[in-house]
């Protein structure tokens, strides 16, 4: 079973930036669709961004468009989430999620529905506060 690990969370001031990384020990993520989700206390888990397998097709929640960028590091087999111009409302535990492509020959695109993803990391805390 795929084991995902998130890193890069921390405390930043409003307007600051963080870069999160999702990795699988001994395994590359290039054949998985990857999504980033977040959950704040007392709130539902919210989709943030996704990136397709086999292409650079991405999707973003309206709340982060223009501020967050999801991308793949092909050499490392990891996926990053660059978060810029952070706001207090971005404070949450951020989770990396993955779904296998099941041998699909073309790009697989998935949306921001948490239940659609099979594998999850333990999360990394992002706190935006002055």
Strand 4-7 versus strand 18-24 pairing type: antiparallel
31 in Cβ contact with 56 (< 8 Å): no
Q: What is the mean pLDDT of residues 31-44?
A: 95
State residue 25's pLDDT score: 84
State residue 93's pLDDT score: 98
Q: Which of 2-16, 25-39, 85-99 has the lowest mean pLDDT?
A: 25-39
DSSP state of 88: G
Phi, psi (rounded to 5 degrees) for 83 = -115, 115
38 in Cβ contact with 92 (< 8 Å): yes
3-state secondary structure of 116: helix
Percent of the chain with pLDDT over 90: 81
| DSSP-assigned beta bridge partners for residue 24 | 4, 27
Q: How confident is the model at residue 105 (pLDDT cuts 50, 70, 90)?
A: confident
Note the pLDDT tens digit of each residue in 63-102. Answer: 999 999 999 998 999 999 999 999 999 999 999 999 998 7
């Amino acid at each position: 079973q795929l084991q995902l690990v998130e890193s890069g969370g921390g405390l930043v001031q409003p307007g600051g930036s963080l870069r999160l990384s999702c990795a699988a020990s001994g395994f590359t993520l290039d054949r998985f669709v990857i999504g980033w989700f977040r959950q704040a206390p007392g709130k539902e888990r919210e989709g943030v961004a996704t990136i397709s397998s086999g292409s650079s097709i991405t999707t973003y929640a309206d709340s982060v468009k223009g501020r967050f960028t999801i991308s793949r590091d092909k050499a490392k087999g990891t996926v990053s989430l660059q978060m810029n111009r952070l706001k207090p409302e971005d404070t949450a535990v951020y989770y990396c999620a993955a779904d296998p492509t099941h041998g699909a020959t073309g790009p697989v695109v998935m949306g921001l529905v948490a239940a659609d993803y099979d594998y999850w990391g333990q999360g990394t805390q992002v706190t935006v506060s002055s």
